Amino acid sequence: MRTIYIRKLRFEEARIKLERELHDAFMQGESYVEILHGIGEGILRRMAIDYVATCDFLKLVETDPMFRSNPGSTIVEILAPSKEYINRLKS
């Protein structure tokens, strides 16, 4: 599972990095991505969740906060073809 660190970034920098790395993960055939946004005031968390909601190929993985290993992260499922299929398309 790939991890995207947007913690301690400014809002716009975090949005650009999140968008770029999620698209890279999609093209590389990743299944899940963990977005580390930190706890703070929740601004980066809200931005990450809102961005995921706008993308057809992303799905927010809902987990019970009581059992979540890190409250400063969000796990996203990428609804994409497998790595093998993408590699065949690239060649």
Element spanning 73, H or E: strand 73-78
- What's the whole-number average pLDDT of the chain? 86
pLDDT, one tens digit per residue, over 20-50 is 999 999 888 888 999 999 988 989 999 999 9
Question: What global pTM score does this model have?
Answer: 0.82
Q: What are the residues whose beta carbons fall under 8 Å from the beta carbon of 35, sequence distance 6 or more?
A: 3, 4, 6, 18, 48, 73, 74, 75, 76
Q: How confident is the model at residue 65, as a pLDDT?
A: 59
